[in-house]
A and B are shown apart, each in its own frame.
Chain A
Amino acid sequence: MAVYGSMTELIGNTPLVDISALSPNENVRILMKLEGQNPGGSVKDRIALSMIEAAEAEGRLVPGSVLIEPSSGNTGIGLAMICKARGYHLKVVLATNVSIERRQLLEVWGAEIIESPGAEGSNGAVRRAQKLAAEHPDWVFLYQYANPANPKAHYEGTGPEIWRDCPEVTHFVAGLGTSGTLLGVGRFLKERNPAIKVLAVEPPAGEIVDGLRNLEDGYIPPIFIEGNGAELLDGKRIVRPRESIEWTRRLTEVGVFAGLSTGAILAGAVKTAAGIEQGTIVTIACDGGWKYLSTGAWTDDLDTVESRAREITYF
């Protein structure tokens, strides 16, 4: 093991672990890439570094710069870790209903938190950040939902790592948030082997978004549209909160302690495994379980956790 020059050099090259003991089909292997091993604790470290380095290369970011970003937590945490080390000031627009640990971690890294109403979910945080960025043209708005450095981090990092470690992959199953992981990994894998299926799992409910008054308030990430996401994906499935929690718990049977979104993705992967004859499914553990301990996800009564999970944004 070499000596690393800085923590950012530890981002990426995460381990791929065989969790086929949870596969419902003995002819289908399921492998999970443990992104919680990144130094900031989630897959989002990859895009945080990629977006910051792209902005530095363009000369938009200089020491002392102020950044603003909407985040349900992980992107904010990844950015905050790097910003603290590089001398940038980060403001994160955070919905009020994220788990307490996410807020605490942002504080650890010295990020300033700007609250947006929980009932508006991520849509509300995105709108607030867009408005503040427009009002403060001197602030740097990386905007993960529209930044090509987001899918690029996965096209150049996550995708090649999967192909290197598991060229026999037949299906890639990941969560659809900003769509960066699916676009970057999906495009890379299909270029290597067009037969590989790329499947999206939609996040389970955080806060029930009754704040949405009409459908024109809907939102599709610009990178999904620009990256022809609708053509790239072979399927998209939604997973309920209860299934997410159940599969988050099942993961501990194979020694994986992961966050709730990982349980949702695994639920999708397991359904895929049940519906095919044979193959190798590669999936993603977005983060570790640490930030969700306060939800009681592993230990409390399932009904209680389910109702609590509706009130937090965790994708």
Chain B
Amino acid sequence: MSVSVNLPTVLRVHAGGTKTVEAEGATVGEALRDLEAKYPGLVGQVINDEGALHKFVNVYVNDDDVRYLSSLDTPLGPSDEISILPAVAGGAVDQSGFPGEAA
């Protein structure tokens, strides 16, 4: 299944400045690992050496934080979108990784 992955400003450097990339996978983890082949260095920023989500990264399927779903095993549907955002203090969320937001 092909899904869109929206990248925050801080990660776009690994994807040639692109805001949204396409990935293949039936789960969030599969889709993210699919990106590693195309954009070396990107996924290492999101998934740590233990294979879990990096502490300061939040990953959303549509609007829901996957940490409270099934994390990297969260299944993906045909029209789902993945968004990656850094964790910041309340009062200032970087939403540049979402579609339709000013970049």
Contact = CB atoms under 8 A, between A and B. Distances in A.
B57 A206 contact: no
Interface of B: 8-10, 45, 54-58, 60, 63-65, 67-69, 85-96, 98, 100-103
Contact of B90 (A217, A234, A307, A315): A315
6 contacts: A72-B90, A122-B89, A178-B90, A238-B60, A238-B93, A310-B102
A217 B92 CA distance: 13
A227 to B, nearest CB: 14
**Is the interface on chain A under 10, 10 to 19, 20 to 34, or 35 or more residues?**
35 or more
Interface stretch (A26-34, A83-91, A208-216, A288-296): A208-216
A236 B89 contact: no
Contacts of A122: 88-92
Q: Which 9 residue pairs spanning A and B have beta carbons closest together?
A: A121-B92, A218-B56, A177-B90, A122-B91, A205-B95, A72-B91, A236-B65, A122-B89, A209-B94
A215 B54 contact: yes
Interface in A225-269: 230, 233-241
Given A121-B88, A123-B89, A238-B65, A215 B57 contact: yes
Nearest to B92: A121
Identify whether the interface residues of A are mostly helix, strand, loop, or mixed.
Answer: loop
Identify whether the interface residues of B are mostly helix, strand, loop, or mixed.
Answer: loop
Given A213-B10, A219-B88, A221-B90, 14 more contacts: A72-B90, A122-B88, A123-B89, A123-B92, A203-B93, A205-B101, A208-B96, A208-B103, A216-B56, A217-B56, A218-B56, A218-B87, A237-B63, A238-B65
A206 B92 CA distance: 5
B102 A208 contact: yes
